[in-house]
Amino acid sequence: MIITLTTDFGLSDPYVAAMKGVILSIAPDAAIVDVSHDIPPQDVDRAAFVIKGAYPFFPKGAIHVVVVDPGVGTERLILVVKTRDSIFLAPNNGALKYVFDVHPEAKVFCAARPEYFRETVSRTFHGRDIFAPLAGHLAKGVPPERLGRPFEEYERGTVTAAARLEDRIVGEVIAFDRYGNAITNIPAEWLADADRVRVLVKGLVLESLSRSYLDVPAGELLAILGGADALELSVNHGSARDKLELSLGETVIAVLG
């Protein structure tokens, strides 16, 4: 069974290794895949975006564990979520907002069976003491519904959709990758068949979409349909974030025709 881990723990401390040790003590045959441990501390929205971009490419039945958990040690709940193809473990804080957005069939349970936790549970390290053992038991075949009660009042989070108007699409920047590419919420499929697309951002106009980063000289801005299956703003050998001083939520408009 495949278990993926997405955390804000980094790799300089023993936290990720401790989680893996707990998982493997319960499910020694599990294959553990690190999605990312470089989520900025407590950045739930970034965690949501990262798991969104990874989980669809894993085999059916994979277990995805997201531990970006500013509310650890409080009364916040832990969710066990079952979709058609996957199982997710995450705090009840919106980290699965994109999962809920595209999986209306999801069944959600509140992890409430301490017999599936470690015997001693730290106030500050639920990744090791709750999430990891739950993942291990799921990998061993324990069904999600056995880990807790059905739960309907979970935090869905807010997914901001682009708006389709008569001749344009109005969206916004929802993430930056490590290259400084600005990823928008305008789906690539909305633009793929357009005869012409102009992109407007911060008073600038890009007259067409590029097919590759090398379509423009080094240091120049471009718009491209990127690997996140969305419209992106990029700079050849540079950072669109830095060049345009972009922020999350920045308006981006795609004009069609």
> Distance between CA atoms of 100 and 157, rounded to whole angstroms?
9
Tell me if domain 2-150 and domain 163-256 are identical in fold. no
pLDDT for position 255: 97
pLDDT for position 17: 98
Give the residue extent of every domain in the chain.
2-150, 163-256
| C-alpha separations of 122 from 115, 118, 196, 227 in Å | 15, 9, 56, 39
Contacts of residues 102-106 at CB distance under 8 Å and 24 or more positions apart, as own/partner, are 106/81, 106/82
Q: Which two tokens stand for residue 34?
A: 């690190």
Residue 57 pairs with which residues in a beta bridge?
none
CATH topology of domain 2-150: Rossmann fold (3.40.50)
Q: Which two tokens stand for residue 58?
A: 């894993």
Q: Which two tokens stand for residue 16?
A: 């990720």
pLDDT for position 75: 87
Q: Which of 56, 54, 2 is nearest to 27 (CA)?
A: 2
Contacts of residues 99-102 at CB distance under 8 Å and 24 or more positions apart, as own/partner, are 99/51, 99/52, 99/55, 100/156, 100/157, 101/156, 101/159
CB 86 within 8 A of CB 63: yes
Spans in the chain with pLDDT lower than 70? none
Please state the pTM of the whole predicted model. Answer: 0.94
> Distance between CA atoms of 26 and 5, rounded to whole angstroms?
16
Cβ atoms within 10 A of the Cβ of 255, count? Answer: 16
Count helices and strands in the chain by DSSP H and E runs = 6, 15
CB 221 within 8 A of CB 245: no
pLDDT for position 86: 98
pLDDT for position 257: 83
Q: Which CATH superfamily is domain 163-256 in?
A: Bacterial fluorinating enzyme like (2.40.30.90)
